């Protein structure tokens, strides 16, 4: 059963085509039938990080397969994206079913220039707090990042990609609020589209890289994507030269914490090489290797090199054997 979108302040029932009063129906179900609650304590008690495995273990222990009628109630997001990493295809499928999602994505991607990597830039404003210069962003969410950081970061990306980069601006701000960015980079935008909450996420997922805001929305975009993404480094927890999003949480600091375990693996590896996430500080400086990776990906996807698009590829060279005679 879908969430009670009718209670959502952003009115997501319009995107997913659910009833405005779905929460009434769900409330009646909970009153009429036995309710099995799967809360954070229950999740942690299973000892499983992956959400599906945790639910399966709980269901087996409770004998739910032998019960005919009940309501299974869950809320929250314990274990973070790591716990639902195998559900990405399901989430993409749900978003693609949303109203106007496919139309909106097609409208934007049809404007993208072939041969150039596409950088999706998410500038979150709306109800996010506008903070003063010099504010400590470490571990802080729901705060708007300085527009200057986006300008510096995207300028570095553009220069590093030798101008062979196009930008897609995704924002809940008005055009006037982000006018300096629009004037500087002439990005594709979705201002002219309707119901973009789901399609903007999909566009982030389909882009070649993402410049994130410090928001759960950007996290979802990065989660749904396989592409590299840029994160504002002053927001990260400092672990002696390594940064994390969630290292400040008590559950992540002990030896059983996923962050602590990953930190130990990275330290033991010595030089682990780059990952998907790139921490960029207030200067906006982006390593040259990041830009070269974007350009190499665009080159590999060039239509003239793609067989199924009438492209051509080098054939293996047949070794020449000496004449036995």
270 DSSP 8-state letter: S
Of the residues 43, 61, 85, the one at which a domain ends = 85
On whether both 67 and 121 belong to a single domain, the answer is: no
| In contact, 191 and 175? CB cutoff 8 Å | yes
167-223 confidence digits (pLDDT tens): 999 999 999 999 999 999 999 999 999 999 999 999 999 999 999 999 999 999 999
On whether both 119 and 69 belong to a single domain, the answer is: no
Of the residues 70, 85, 100, the one at which a domain ends = 85
For the chain of 325 residues, list the mean pLDDT of each consecutive stretch of 10: 80 84 84 91 91 94 92 85 94 96 98 96 90 80 93 98 97 96 98 96 98 96 98 95 90 85 89 88 96 96 96 90 67
Domain-embedded: residue 196 = yes
Of the residues 69, 85, 101, the one at which a domain ends = 85
Q: Is beta strand 243-244 parallel, antiparallel or unpaired with respect to 237-238?
A: antiparallel
The CATH number of residue 118's host domain is 3.40.50.2000
Query: CA 101 to CA 141: how far, in whole Å?
Result: 27
Domain-embedded: residue 251 = yes
Q: Quote the pLDDT of residue 76.
A: 79
Domain-embedded: residue 269 = yes
Domain-embedded: residue 286 = yes
On whether both 120 and 218 belong to a single domain, the answer is: yes
On whether both 162 and 283 belong to a single domain, the answer is: yes
Domain-embedded: residue 320 = no
Domain-embedded: residue 63 = yes
**Number of compact structural domains in the chain:** 2
- Residue 10 is part of which domain span? 5-85
Q: Quote the pLDDT of residue 81.
A: 94
On whether both 135 and 11 belong to a single domain, the answer is: no
Query: CA 271 to CA 63: how far, in whole Å?
Result: 47
On whether both 232 and 104 belong to a single domain, the answer is: yes
On whether both 56 and 74 belong to a single domain, the answer is: yes
On whether both 143 and 63 belong to a single domain, the answer is: no
Domain-embedded: residue 32 = yes
On whether both 28 and 152 belong to a single domain, the answer is: no
Work out the number of other CB atoms within 10 angstroms of the CB of residue 76. Answer: 9
Query: CA 198 to CA 102: how far, in whole Å?
Result: 9
């Amino acid at each position: 059963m879908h969430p009670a979108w009718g209670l959502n302040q952003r009115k997501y029932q319009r995107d997913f085509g659910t009833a405005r009063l779905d929460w009434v129906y769900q409330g009646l179900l909970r009153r009429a039938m036995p309710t099995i609650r799967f809360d954070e304590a229950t999740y942690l008690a299973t000892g499983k990080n992956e959400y599906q495995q945790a639910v399966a273990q709980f269901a087996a222990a409770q004998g739910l397969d032998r019960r005919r009628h009940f309501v299974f109630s869950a809320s929250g997001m314990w274990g973070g994206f790591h716990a639902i990493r195998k559900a990405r295809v399901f989430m993409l499928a749900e978003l693609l079913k949303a109203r106007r999602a496919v139309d909106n994505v097609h409208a934007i991607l049809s404007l993208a220039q072939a041969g150039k990597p596409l950088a999706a830039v998410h500038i979150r404003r709306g109800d996010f707090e506008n903070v003063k210069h010099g504010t400590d962003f470490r571990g802080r969410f729901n705060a708007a990042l300085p527009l200057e950081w986006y300008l510096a970061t995207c300028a570095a990306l553009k220069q590093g990609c030798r101008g062979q980069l196009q930008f897609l601006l995704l924002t809940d701000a008005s055009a006037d609020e982000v006018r300096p960015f629009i004037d500087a980079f002439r990005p594709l935008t979705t201002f002219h589209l309707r119901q973009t909450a789901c399609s903007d996420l999909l566009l982030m997922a389909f882009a070649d890289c993402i410049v994130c805001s410090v928001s759960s929305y950007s996290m979802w975009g990065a989660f749904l994507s396989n592409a590299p993404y840029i994160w504002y480094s002053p927001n990260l927890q400092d672990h002696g030269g390594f940064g994390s999003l969630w290292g400040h949480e008590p559950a992540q600091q002990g030896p059983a914490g996923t962050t602590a375990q990953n930190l130990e693996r990275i330290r033991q590896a010595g030089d682990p090489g780059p990952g998907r996430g790139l921490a960029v500080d207030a200067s906006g400086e982006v390593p040259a290797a990041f830009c070269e990776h974007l350009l190499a990906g665009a080159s590999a996807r060039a239509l003239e090199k793609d067989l199924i698009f009438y492209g051509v590829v080098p054939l293996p060279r047949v070794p020449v054997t000496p004449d036995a005679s």
